[in-house]
Structure 1
Amino acid sequence: MADSQSKPCRTILVTGGTGLVGMAIKEIAEIGNQTNEKWVFVSSKDADLTSEAETCALFEKHKPTHVIHLAAMVGGLFSNLKYNLDFWRINIKINDNVLHNAYKHNVRKVVSCLSTCIFPDKTTYPIDESMIHNGPPHDSNFGYAYAKRMIDVQNKAYHSQHGCMFTSVIPTNVFGPHDNFNLENGHVIPGLIHKVYRAKEDDTPFTIWGTGSPLRQFIYSKDLARLFIWVLHEYDEVNPIILSVGEEDEVSIKEVADMVVDAYEFKGNVFLDTSKSDGQFKKTASNAKLKSLFPDFKFTPIKQALKETVTWFVDNYETARK
Structure 2
Amino acid sequence: MSSSPAKQVVLVTGGSGLVGQGLQWVLENEPVGSRYGKLEGEEWVFLSSKDGDLKDAAAVEAIFQKYKPTHVIHLAALVGGLFRNMREKLTFLRDNLLINDNVLETSHQHKVTKLVSCLSTCVFPDKVEYPLDETKVHLGPPHQSNFGYAHGKRLVDVQNHAYNDQFGDNFTSVIPTNIFGPGDNYSIEDGHVLPGLCHKAYLAKKNGTPFVVWGSGKPLRQFIYSRDLAKLFIWTLREYEEIDPVILSVGEDEEVSIKTVADAVVKSIGFTGEYKFDTSKSDGQFRKPASNEKLLRLINSKGVEPFKFTPFEQAIDESVAWFVENYDTARTGVIPQ
| Counterpart position of 1:282 | 287
1:114/1:148 contact within 8 Å kept: yes
Identity across the alignment (%): 60
My pick for the range that moved more, 37-46 or 209-218, is 209-218
Q: Comparing 152-161 with 31-40, which one deviates more in the overlay?
A: 31-40
The answer to whether 1:308 aligns with 2:318 is yes
Matches within 5 A, 1:2-17: 6-17=4-15
State the distance in 2 between where 1:197 and 1:84 align.
Answer: 32
SS of aligned partner of 2:50: coil
Name the counterpart of 1:204. 209
Pick one of 228, 246, 255 that aligns with 2:251.
246
What displacement does 1:273 show?
2.2
Q: State the shift of 1:102 in Å.
A: 0.4
Say yes or no: does 1:51 pair with 2:56: yes
Q: Give yes or no for the alignment of 1:235 onto 2:206.
A: no
SS in 1 for 2:49: coil
Task: State the distance in 1 between where 2:316 and 2:240 align.
Answer: 29
Match of 2:17 in 1: 19
1:140 touches 1:279 (CA, 8 Å); kept in 2? no
Q: Does 1:320 align with 2:330?
A: yes
Q: Which residue of 2 aligns with 1:156?
A: 161
1:294 matched to which residue of 2?
299
CA 1:309 to 1:279, structure 2 compared with 1: closer, same or farther past 3 Å? same
Kept after mapping to 2: 8 A contact 1:78/1:184: no
Give, in angstroms, the shift of residue 239 of structure 1.
Answer: 0.6
SS in 2 for 1:289: helix
Task: Give CA-to-partner distance per residue, 1:116-150, whole Å, 9 cap, x none.
Answer: 11111111111100000111112222111111100
Task: Give the CA deviation at 1:176.
Answer: 0.1
Q: CA RMSD in A?
A: 1.3
- CA separation of 1:86 and 1:276: change in aligned 2, threshold 3 A: farther
Deviations 1:52-73 (A, max 9, x none): 1111111111110000000001
Q: How many residues align?
A: 320
The aligned residue for residue 133 of structure 2 is 128
Provide the C-alpha distance between the structure 1 equivalents of 2:170 and 2:61, rounded to a whole number of angstroms: 19
Letter in structure 2 aligned against 1:163: G
- Counterpart for residue 224 of structure 1: 229
Distance, in Å, in 2 between the alignment partners of 1:154 and 1:203 is 51
Could you tell me which amino acid in structure 1 is paired with residue 206 of structure 2? E
Structure 1 residue matching 2:107: 3-state secondary structure: helix
Structure 2, unaligned runs of 5 or more: 30-36, 301-305, 333-337
Per-residue CA distance 1:270-322 (angstroms, 9 max, x = gap): 22223333333221000000110112100001111001000000000111111
- Unmatched tracts of structure 1, length 5 or more: none
Q: What letter is aligned with 2:318?
A: E
Aligned residue for 1:14, secondary structure, equals strand
